[in-house]
Amino acid sequence: MPNADDELFVKLYTDADVHGDLAAQIRAKGFEAHSAHEEKQPGLKDEPQLEHAAERGWAILTHNIKHFEPLFYKWQAEGRHHAGIITSERLNVGELLRRVLRLLNRVTADEMRDNLKNLAEFAERPAPRKKR
């Protein structure tokens, strides 16, 4: 995996089950993003997708929580490293983009490395109601 010690921003890789245009929309906001479709990797199974991303220093974004959360713990137990695993429930592409951008603006590449995050952490919270 490339050394990302000096990198501030997470570099993202969207796996095959994430909306195909999301990576381009993230790039349009000034962040580095790649997709399984652009990389001609849409047919890879889950662990090879993670390996593909890890070899390039990219955190992987997936809707496949059921398979990637156990992969996170498997790799941790094996002492294997990756740039991060980001999971999310299926959302419309606008909300998915908003949550990804919040993550990219709040979490550094170093904080994301070998970590597991769910985009639900980055949902917009309504402002607290004032007591009268």
Sign of CA dihedral 13, 107, 121, 79: positive
What percent of the chain is predicted at pLDDT more than 90? 77
Give the CATH number, domain containing residue 42: 3.40.50.2300
Q: Which pair of structure tokens corresponds to residue 82?
A: 């990756």
Give a yes or no: residue 62 inside a domain. yes
- Would you say residue 129 lies in a domain? no
* Per-residue pLDDT at 83: 98
Q: pTM of this prediction?
A: 0.88
Q: Is 114 within the bounds of a domain?
A: yes
Per-residue pLDDT tens digits for 77-129: 999 999 999 999 999 999 999 999 999 999 999 999 999 999 999 998 766 67
Tell me the two tokens of residue 122: 């980055």
Q: What's the burial of 103, exposed, middle or buried (CB within 10 Å: 0-12/13-18/19+)? A: buried
- The tokens for 110 are 């170093």
Contact predicate 63/87, CB 8 Å: yes
Q: Which two tokens stand for residue 108?
A: 């550094």
Average pLDDT value over all residues in the chain: 90
| Predicted pLDDT at 4 | 43
Is 1 inside a domain boundary? no
Query: Using one digit for the tens of pLDDT, what is the confidence trace for 32-88?
Result: 999 998 888 767 799 999 999 999 999 999 999 999 999 999 999 999 999 999 999
Tally of domains in the chain: 1
pLDDT at 127: 60
